[in-house]
Structures are given as C-alpha cells and as structure tokens.
Amino acid sequence: MIMCSFQSIPSVLATFPKMANTPCSFSKFFMPSTHLNSGSKETKDMKKPYCAKSMAPEKVELFKSTEGWARDSILPLLKPVEKSWQPADLLPDSASDGFVEQVKELREREKEIPDDYLVAIVGNMITEEALPMYQSRVSSTEIYRDETGREDTPWAIWSRGWSAEENRHGDLLNKYLYLSGRIDIKQVEKTIQYMIASGTDFGFGDNPYHFSVYTSVQERATFIAHGNTAKLALQHGDSKLAQICGTIASDEKRHETAYSRIVKKLFELDPTEAMVAFADMLRIRMIMPGHSMYDGKDEQLFDHVSNVLMRIGVYTTTDYINVLEHFVGIWNIEKLEGLKSDGKIAQDYVCGLPERLRKMEERALARATQAPAISFSWVFDREV
C-alpha cells in the first residue's frame, strides 16, 4: 500500500473532503485530497450518511462458497518466497567489502534529488511501514478473518501472503532512504510509530464486499503512484531508485489484479450488493491508509503531503478519476443488469461520478499548486 496503498492508499492519499463524523485523529496506498470547498454543492451531495454494516448470514455463506474458486484464481497470484525479490537484492551489500563504496555511490546519486520528491517518497514509505495496522484490519474482516493466525482457508492464506509481500515495500524504501542521508530518519521513525499507534477505521466495518472494493482501488492507486515516483527518479538521475519504485509497482499491480478479480466475482454472484458496496465506498470520503499521519509537529501532515504529491505529479485528482473509470470499465458497471432498485440507484451514482469529478479537477490542482510552502520535519524542517 501507499499514501495513494497509497498506499495510500492512498494515503496514499484522501479522495474526498472529511465528513463530519470522520475521526479527527490522523492515520497501501495515499490518495491526494481533491481539496474541494467544503461548502460547495458537489461536496454536500457527496457527504451522504453512511454506516458500516456487517454481512447478513446468507452473504457470509455466499462468500464462503467461493473458496474453491479463490484457491484456483487468487492464491496463484502470490509468489513463492524463494522466487520473490527481497530488499537485499536492491540495496548495497552490507557483507561486501565494497559496501562503503556502494553507499557513497548511492549518496552521490541522491545529492540532486529535490526536497519535494523526498517528501513524496517518504510519505509513501511511511504508509507502507504501517502494515501491522492494515493486517489487523484485514484479519478482523468477515471471511478474511484469521481466527488463530494460522487458518488454512484460502482467504486467510491470501491475507497473510499479501501482507508478507507488502511488508518488503516499506523495508526496502526505508533502508534506501536511511542510507541516502537526505532525511531526518528519527522524525520519520516517530511518524511511523505515531501512525501505527493511532490505528484507523476505514469506515466499512467487517464487510468484505466493501473491503474488496476499497483494496482494489487502493492497489491500483498504489501501482500508479509508485510508477510515477519511478519516472521522477529517472528524471532526477537515480536509476536505482527508479528500479526500486518500479519493482514495488509491479507487486501492487499483481495485488490489484487479485482484488479486482474478487470484486468481479462478487458482481457475478451478487450484483446488487456488490454495486451498493462500490457506491458506498465512493460516497464517503475513502479513509486512506495515511490519513492519521502525524510527526509530533504537523497535525495536517497528510493534507500537506497530499499537496506535494499532487503538485509534482506522483498522484493527482486526474489519476483518481482514471482509476475510477478503469474499474467502471473492467467490472462492466454501465451494462450490469439484474439489479434491484437500490442497486440501480448505486449504478447511476457510480457511472455519473467521473464526469462530476472532471469538473472539479482543475480547481483541485490549482489549490495544490497555490498552497503555501510548508516546513517538513522529514527533510530537517526545510520548506517545501
């Protein structure tokens, strides 16, 4: 995940303005805020009341009926440990006689990296490092729940394997940035501790329909954001960092494939419930994984980092709209039939949302671009 999973999940990354009942404490993926005027008609229309709901017993049984399908279609998307990359594959070899020289080369490459890029990639890394918080939420969700921590259901196996693969992302970025010497690592570490300790409530209770939609969006956003940080790293002359970000992006793309398959299956089996879940997750401000980010100084850190991500093109409102249109397409939302009345209402809402957001994207970018410079503790209190 990122500040998009992202992360950030974002997060990577708040998609809509805060609702009145959103927890005021800040927490895969880090989506940028669209920074809409809280008094605007568009914002009021999107602030629909929403209550997280658990699954009805018959829905639990329906989801459980897909276990055989999940073993065949989802678990193969996990990579065996022995065939997976590890952070050590992409970092200086600490056991090598040339380790010091390798670190010197790394630091030489990092000298010209601008502060705004560092803030963006640190924000993404911190969101990835909060993995224990995300795994605890996954394990408490109906169907994905792992009662003993060693359950052999395909959903429990998937959630543990997914978490294990995601765990490498924060490890890799953290070590690389630490070796670069360009960040205040203690401030970064404090931010990670604050974020995990604060916990988070994503707003969907223990309903796996909502969780699966949420994570599909989050993983695609993460894939895009890491891909964009890779492109920017190349522009700044750091091909190794570009390789690192690209490697993480490929993981996120594979994870997106898994969750989008799950949601597509739900649309086949239970179209109305799946459609309502999709609309629910878009009506509320999706609580991104990084929304409780705090460094001990800046209580609006998530919003400030979101501005930077938007401004330098790591993840923008346009990217979010493209993500939404992507899922409307691959889940065949516009042509879905057999919906009950509440499903049809949800379908109309989802299909009309991209166009509504397109009308706002210029304002969102303008607000991010015109935002005043902010002092970030991660880069030794320099203004960005």
Contact 119, 376 (CB under 8 A): yes
What amino acid positions are annotated as catalytic residues? 85, 128, 166, 169, 219, 222, 251-252, 255
- E strand map for the chain: 375-376, 382-383
Radius of gyration in angstroms for the set of CA atoms belonging to the chain, rounded to a whole number: 20
Q: Which of 212, 348, 203 is nearest to 269 (CA)?
A: 212
CA dihedral sign, ordered 130, 135, 138, 139: negative
Q: Using CA atoms, how far apart are residues 282 and 321, in angstroms rounded to an integer?
A: 11
- Listed in sequence order, the DSSP H helices in 99-152 are 99-110, 115-129, 131-139
DSSP SS3 for 82: helix
Q: Which two tokens stand for residue 121?
A: 């990639």
**CB proximity list for 295: less than 8 A, separation 6 or greater:** 187, 190, 191, 194, 301, 377, 378
**CB proximity list for 126: less than 8 A, separation 6 or greater:** 3, 170, 188, 191, 192, 195, 290, 293
Q: Using CA atoms, how far apart are residues 14 and 52, in angstroms rounded to an integer?
A: 18
Task: Name the β-bridge partners of 376.
Answer: 382
The count of other CB atoms within 10 Å of the CB of residue 190 is: 17
**Chain centroid offset of residue 37 CA:** 24
Amino acid at site 28: K
Supply φ then ψ for residue 80, to 5 degrees. -60, 145
